[in-house]
Amino acid sequence: MVMLVPALGLVIGLAIGLLVNVHLSINDASYLSVAILAALDTVFGGIKAVLSHKFDPTTFLTGFFSNTLLAAVLAFIGSLLGVDLALAAVVAFGVRIFTNLGAIRHILLERAKLASHGD
């Protein structure tokens, strides 16, 4: 069951996001987009941890909320200072997301390779 926590959270979050009708200003949308990227980074990191047998629910949940909040706050502070920190966050989280996806893909391919040799 613990293995399903990151994926289940992603599915529930997507369902809630699609069902709830929220209107945001352009300024608020940039903070939300950075927060979503931070949350996705944490989810993909959690999936990688599950596949690596290193998942800890407490670490996942605290990381999810603290990373998401910190990303939004930094984007807000950047806008107050006139610096586009949201763009820097998009690049940083984008790199991390693709790195985690690459690691997940390698783990799954290795497992598939081992399973096919076991037949």
Over residues 75-90, the mean pLDDT reads 86
pTM over 0.85: no
CA distance 113 to 37: 31
- For position 113, what pLDDT does the model report? 92
When comparing pLDDT for 116 and 119, which is higher? 116
- Given pLDDT bands bounded at 50, 70 and 90, which one contains residue 22? confident
Spatial contact of 93 and 40, defined as CB atoms under 8 Å apart: yes
